[in-house]
Amino acid sequence: MDLHLRDQHILITGGSKGIGLACAEAFLAEGARVTLVSRDADNLARARARLAGHSAHHIHTHAADLRDANAAQAALDAAEAALGPVDVLVNSAGAAKRTPAPELTPQAWADAMQAKYFSYIHMIDPTIKRMAARGQGCIVNVVGNGGKVASPIHLPGGAANAALMLASAGLAAAYAPQGIRVNAINPGATRTERLQEGLAADARAQGIGTDEAMQRAVARIPLGRMAEPEEIARAVLFLASDAASYVTGVCMTMDGAAVPIVV
């Protein structure tokens, strides 16, 4: 199936590793042009090296801390100067620290909103307004499933994720008349570097080792394994493509049926 992504400009926040980098590889394989945004310039350099098999003219990178609205605006300006107007925005940046409930402080809640919620909103706001002015565009927000299922070790991050899901659904309704689609994907446990932090917090909360925490986490997944970043990326591609032209306002769970809920 031709997803009609060739020559589309895809801006991916958190694009230097994990799910974001898997998305970059998938979009480039479809012939798209990709901008990767990340806080860490070294991670971006490693990502470019991993993507070396693709045309350098199809890849732009920009280091920015998206907790700063001005930095997000500058990243968008640089991306469009390099590769043209952004057709698709994929947000996969930021991660709130996983902390057992007894260790939480007011600052931990505030930090989670800055790390996850505002890092997305700061990029969404200017991008969606430019898309609306052009009368087309698509946004896919990768938002952890903790926004639907409360976890005692991920309450601030889960609250930020829940806020992002509401924002995704609301923006989908607000901007549909201007030809913009907004969707979210809610991955469960996925084999990325961030997974280890969550396992460590889970292990502390349960008084067990990280290996046992991993075993217990996998045992709760009916599919019998965690997701691979490439599997999440394939769903992102679908939602960003013409194949999903009537899909908007959706928050799609991808957790291997770990939490069988109707949404």
**What mean pLDDT, rounded, does the chain reach?**
92
- In total, how many domains does the chain have? 1
pLDDT tens-place string over residues 223-246: 999 999 999 999 999 999 999 999
Element (H, E) at 59: strand 59-63
- The answer to whether position 3 is within a domain reads no
CATH of the domain at 62: 3.40.50.720
What are the C-alpha distances in Å from 138 to residues 19, 25, 134, 219?
18, 18, 12, 36
> Which residues, in sequence order, are CB contacts of 129 under 8 Å at separation 6+?
none
Res. 258: pLDDT tops 70: yes
- In a domain, residue 168? The reply is yes
Crossing angle of helices 119-134/69-83, nearest 10°?
40
Say whether 190 sits in a helix, a strand or coil: strand
Nearest CA to 34 out of 51, 12, 2 is that of 12
List the beta bridge partners of residue 114. none
Strands 33-38 and 137-142: unpaired
Domain carrying residue 112: 9-188+229-254
Q: How confident is the model at residue 48 (pLDDT cuts 50, 70, 90)?
A: very high
Instruction: Report if residue 212 sits inside a domain.
Output: no
Tell me, what's the pLDDT at 54?
81
The answer to whether residue 250 sits within a structural domain is yes
Assigned domain for 165 exists: yes
List, in order, residues 6 or more apart from 201 with CB less than 8 Å away.
98, 99, 100, 153, 154
Measured in degrees and rounded to the nearest 5, phi and psi for residue 140 equal -125, 120
Residue 206 has pLDDT above 90, yes or no: no
Residue 54: inside a domain: yes
Cβ 44 vs Cβ 36: under 8 Å = yes
Share of the chain above pLDDT 70, in %: 97
pLDDT digits (tens, 9 = 90+) for 103-144: 999 999 999 999 999 999 999 999 999 999 999 999 999 998
Residue 116 in domain: yes
